[in-house]
């Protein structure tokens, strides 16, 4: 099958491309505007097209040339705090860009769409762990943009039979075990890579954004899921669409929550560095606790995680950062 991966040069996208490429079953085309992605993160044998999902003419050229049957869409803006400061750019890229991508898919008759959605849909959840069909009520623009796309997809299915799977990632982290691809954002905003900058000698200490949340140690609790496990769920989602021709949505997490302090402790164990930490005020848009139930993905997709130890996950990220002190 011909598969286009929008955002395939990014952090999660490049891990997906690697796993799909290893399978050797599909023809892969990566589309990326390289605003945050890196061509060094994708195998040379994979076709690369530079382009932005907001650029309809460029998308038209790429689709006319490759006519992909399935599209994975991982090319969104992803920072919760930034989305609170600049909501319009989030709506422009995440909603308007996705609409353009869907219009071109409709024009060229692409059948399947696999969407990178998010735990941020659930806002302040009513219960933990969060089930895939629990109520969605985002508390930040980032989550709103992802929810808007999930709703758009429902109507595309009704109107012209586009079959889709929404994958709500909880906190993607870690790196491929080989250590040659990993998380490299500029500027970095995610907890694990920021914590690892301390033992890497790039910063003196890490900041903890709020220790007065209603959690055991007062710091935010998140569900950290390894990026290679996320990649395998994407592959199973495409198999699912091919087998059932039914749209669906799944949560992807580990079922375990770790506080910011627990993550810093894991990094201390893995790196052997004391990693000083300082408490700062809360960051805008942060819910106290987000932990997934992935039972539906396990039952319906047959998803099994390879990584359940937070130390092992942090160790894979640490290996990438040690091998790439300057990033890609």
Binding site for ligand UFG (CB under 6 A): 78-80, 118-120, 170-171, 189-191, 194, 206-209, 220, 222, 260, 283, 286, 290
Nearer to ligand UFG, 47 or 197 (CB): 197
Q: How far apart are the first and last CA of the chain?
A: 30
Nearer to ligand UFG, 191 or 310 (CB): 191
DSSP 40: G
210, HSE (Cβ side, Cα atoms, 13 Å)? 18
Q: How far is the CB of 136 from ligand UFG (least distance, A)?
A: 12
Q: How far is the CB of 308 from ligand UFG (least distance, A)?
A: 18
Nearer to ligand UFG, 56 or 283 (CB): 283
Alpha helices in the chain (DSSP H): 11-23, 56-66, 80-85, 87-90, 97-108, 141-160, 191-196, 227-244, 260-271, 295-296, 310-323
Given the residues 112, 142, 213, 307, the one annotated as active site: 142
Q: How far is the CB of 72 from ligand UFG (least distance, A)?
A: 16
Nearer to ligand UFG, 110 or 118 (CB): 118
Alpha-carbon span 74 to 97, nearest angstrom? 12
Alpha-carbon span 9 to 203, nearest angstrom? 26
Tell me which residue of 7, 17, 163 sits closest to 73, measured CA to CA: 7
Determine the residue with CB nearest ligand UFG.
220
Q: How far is the CB of 194 from ligand UFG (least distance, A)?
A: 4
DSSP 249: E
Contact 29, 3 (CB under 8 A): yes
208, HSE (Cβ side, Cα atoms, 13 Å)? 21
Nearer to ligand UFG, 108 or 209 (CB): 209
**Does 142 qualify as catalytic in the annotation?**
yes
Catalytic residues: 142
């Amino acid at each position: 099958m011909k598969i286009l991966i929008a955002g395939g040069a990014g952090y999660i996208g490049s891990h997906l491309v690697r796993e799909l490429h290893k399978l050797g079953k599909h023809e892969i085309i990566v589309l990326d505007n390289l605003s945050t992605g890196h061509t060094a993160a994708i195998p040379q044998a994979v076709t690369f097209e530079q382009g932005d999902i907001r650029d309809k003419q460029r998308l038209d050229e790429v689709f006319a040339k490759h006519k992909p049957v399935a599209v994975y869409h991982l090319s969104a803006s992803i920072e919760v705090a930034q989305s609170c400061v600049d909501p319009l750019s989030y709506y422009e890229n995440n909603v308007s860009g996705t609409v353009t991508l869907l219009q071109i898919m409709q024009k060229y008759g692409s059948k399947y769409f696999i969407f990178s959605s998010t735990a941020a849909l659930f806002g302040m959840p009513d219960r933990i762990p969060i089930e895939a069909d629990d109520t969605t009520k985002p508390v930040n623009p980032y989550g709103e943009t992802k929810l808007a796309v999930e709703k758009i997809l429902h109507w595309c299915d009704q109107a012209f039979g586009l079959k889709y799977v929404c994958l709500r990632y909880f906190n993607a982290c870690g790196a491929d075990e080989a250590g040659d691809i990993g998380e490299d954002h500029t500027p970095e905003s995610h907890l694990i890579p920021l914590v690892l900058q301390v033992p890497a000698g790039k910063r003196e200490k890490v900041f903890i954004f709020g220790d007065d949340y209603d959690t055991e140690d007062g710091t935010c609790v998140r569900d950290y899921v390894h990026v290679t496990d996320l990649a395998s769920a994407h592959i199973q989602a495409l198999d699912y669409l091919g087998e059932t021709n039914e749209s669906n949505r799944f949560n992807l997490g580990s079922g375990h929550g770790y506080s910011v302090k627990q993550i810093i402790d894991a990094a201390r164990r893995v790196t052997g560095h004391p990693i000083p930490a300082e408490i700062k005020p809360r960051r805008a848009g942060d819910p106290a606790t987000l932990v997934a139930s992935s039972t539906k993905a396990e039952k319906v997709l047959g998803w099994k995680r390879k990584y359940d130890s937070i130390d092992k996950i942090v160790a894979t990220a640490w290996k990438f950062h040690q091998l790439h002190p300057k990033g890609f």
